[in-house]
Amino acid sequence: MRIGIIGAGELGGSLAEWWTQAGHDVVVGSAPAGHLAGAEGRPAITATVTAADAATFGEVVLFAPDWAAAHTLVDVTAGALAGKPVLDATNPVVWRDGAGYRRAVPDDLSGLETLAGWAPDAHWVKAFNTVAPSVLRRRRGRDPLLAEFICTDHRDARAAATRLIQDVGFAPFFAGGGSNACLTETGGPLQLREVDVADATATFAQAVGANW
């Protein structure tokens, strides 16, 4: 599969490396092209281009920049993202001096829904946003399999995320439509939860019922 990556930092760079090892064709985009923190020490990553080029290249796109850059990056890639599955790994938070990370979207809106508002023709799917890359690195390909929660309204995006999660050694768990993405993002009950696949159904049910 051709995968374009927008924002190859710690998370995007790790996934770029693992998908390349799994046999996918991966191109990573940064700003400016060529400066790529996530590529350092990862010889598998060779092609670095602009975010727009990465979006054009991918049959599937991973969107994993800082939230502060998200709107700008959607503006320059929306045309290329139209009709494609786009895995959104972001958490909608920004750093505020003295106050740490703060949510940057209204309480009643998830980051995924915000992105879908900016680029309504992309097939957004929430994935890879609940645990740190260090956890993914420790758990990938090992039993018990780590559950990866995905939320989307699009059939092709669900299929693409399912395959790409399995290809790097995790267990995809469908956690409902796009409006459920808030369960997985910062402030939601699934955020930072390291869940074995055997516990995923119960954990998800608890999260849906949680008064949060």
Ligand X SMILES: NC(=O)c1ccc[n+]([C@@H]2O[C@H](COP(=O)([O-])OP(=O)(O)OC[C@H]3O[C@@H](n4cnc5c(N)ncnc54)[C@H](OP(=O)(O)O)[C@@H]3O)[C@@H](O)[C@H]2O)c1
CB of 72 to ligand X, least distance (A): 6
CB of 30 to ligand X, least distance (A): 4
- Residue among 32 and 98 whose Cβ is closer to ligand X: 32
Write the single-letter amino acid at 81: L
- Residue 110, classified by CB atoms within 10 Å of its CB into exposed (0-12), middle (13-18) or buried (19+), is buried
- Residue among 139 and 155 whose Cβ is closer to ligand X: 139
Instruction: With H, G, I as helix, E, B as strand and everything else as coil, classify residue 6.
Output: strand
Residues that bind ligand X (CB under 6 A): 7-12, 30-31, 35-38, 51, 64-67, 69, 72-73, 89-91, 129, 132-133
Write the single-letter amino acid at 163: R
CB of 134 to ligand X, least distance (A): 8
- Residue among 19 and 67 whose Cβ is closer to ligand X: 67
Closest CA to 127 of 205, 63, 57, 73: 63
- Residue among 72 and 155 whose Cβ is closer to ligand X: 72
- Could you tell me which residues are beta bridge partners of residue 93? 103
Q: Output the residue with the shortest Cβ distance to ligand X.
A: 9
Closest CA to 88 of 18, 135, 157, 19: 157
CB of 209 to ligand X, least distance (A): 24
- Residue among 99 and 209 whose Cβ is closer to ligand X: 99
CB of 185 to ligand X, least distance (A): 9
Residue 138 contacts residue 109 (beta carbons within 8 Å): no
- Element (DSSP H or E) covering residue 48: strand 48-49
**HSE toward the beta carbon, residue 87, CA cutoff 13 A:** 30
Tokens of 199: 């516990």
- Residue among 38 and 85 whose Cβ is closer to ligand X: 38
CB of 34 to ligand X, least distance (A): 9
